[in-house]
Amino acid sequence: QLQLQESGPGLVKPSETLSLTCTVSGGSINSFSYYWGWIRQPPGKGLECIGNVYYSGITYYNPSLKSRVTISVDTSKNQFSLKLTSVAAADTAVYYCAGRAPFGPIDYWGQGTLVTVSS
Amino acid sequence: DIQMTQSPSSLSASVGDRVTITCRASQSIRSYVNWYQQKPGKAPKLLIYAASSLQSGVPSRFSGSGSGTDFTLTISSLQPEDFATYYCQQSYSTPPDTFGQGTKLEIK
């Protein structure tokens, strides 16, 4: 059973870059033909998909965030990462890493990490 | 992009009630809809996948139905632990995934 764990700073200053890493344990990220991705949830609000990277390295981004987002996978470390540039207070949220198969449900979730954007 | 419209946004009900939450897709997504339950401070938990398949370990009072554009999640007899927020999500298209706006189920 795979486990996902987010890591990264919990506080980021406005205009700086938010960087998070998701470490996958319990199996090789390469052995799953999965979309690995990031979902965020602002306080008291709903779920928003930021984007995904397919195990092959192909990326898919939310059009509303595309200009600021980079998602990458490092199979040697069994990790995938998120970079969100030029952050503002509206980017304050719990960030989840997650994984699903094509056409499948999101069956792997990290526990989530709160990132606050504040000076 | 496929939009998912979920209703109602909130719902008050009592233990033992039958409740239904609906989700409408902006285009046909066949049966590729999934339902999640989220409690405060926790990651969403998968309840139903492929519109009507019950995830292992989920109580049978939860059920899903629908195909094409219209889907429902039904809880046949509410239990105290069911008061939470529920989300639908489509997995028909390539990412980014889209979710419904959520339904907060509260105790009456």
pLDDT in tens, A80-113: 999 999 999 999 999 999 999 999 999 999 999 9
Chain A residues 8-47 within an 8 A CB cutoff of chain B = 35, 37, 39, 46-47
Look at A109 and B49 and tell me if their CB atoms are within 8 Å.
no
- The band of A31, judged by pLDDT with boundaries at 50, 70 and 90, is confident
Look at A49 and B96 and tell me if their CB atoms are within 8 Å.
yes
Rounded to the nearest integer, the mean pLDDT of chain B is 97
The percentage of chain B sitting over the pLDDT mark of 90, rounded to a whole number, equals 94
Q: Phi/psi of residue A86, each to 5°?
A: 50, 55
Look at B43 and A109 and tell me if their CB atoms are within 8 Å.
yes
The pLDDT assigned to A64 comes to 96
Query: What's the rounded mean pLDDT across residues B33-59?
Result: 98
The pLDDT assigned to A49 comes to 97
Predicted confidence (pLDDT) per residue in A51-64, tens digit: 999 988 899 999 99
The pLDDT assigned to B14 comes to 96
Rounded to the nearest integer, the mean pLDDT of chain A is 96
The residue of chain B with its CA nearest to that of A100 is: B91
Query: What's the rounded mean pLDDT across residues B2-6?
Result: 97
The residue of chain B with its CA nearest to that of A36 is: B95
Predicted confidence (pLDDT) per residue in A63-89, tens digit: 999 999 999 999 999 999 999 999 999
The pLDDT assigned to B34 comes to 98
The minimum CA-CA distance between A96 and chain B, rounded to whole Å, is 8
User: What letters, b where the CB count within 10 A reaches 16 and e where it falls short, cover A64-102?
Assistant: ebeebbbbebeeeebbbbbebeebeeebbbbbbbbbbee
Residue B29 has pLDDT above 90, yes or no: yes
The pLDDT assigned to A65 comes to 97
Residue A32 has pLDDT above 90, yes or no: no
Query: What's the rounded mean pLDDT across residues B7-35?
Result: 97
For residue A82, what are the β-bridge partners? A20, A71
Range B55-64 contact pairs with CB under 8 angstroms and sequence separation of 24 or more: B55/A105, B62/B35, B64/B33, B64/B35
Retrieve residue B4's tokens: 């998912």
Predicted confidence (pLDDT) per residue in B71-86, tens digit: 999 999 999 999 999 9
Residue that has been written with the tokens 């109580």 in this structure: B59
For residue B6, what are the β-bridge partners? B23
Look at B46 and A112 and tell me if their CB atoms are within 8 Å.
no
The minimum CA-CA distance between A119 and chain B, rounded to whole Å, is 25
Query: What's the rounded mean pLDDT across residues A24-51?
Result: 95
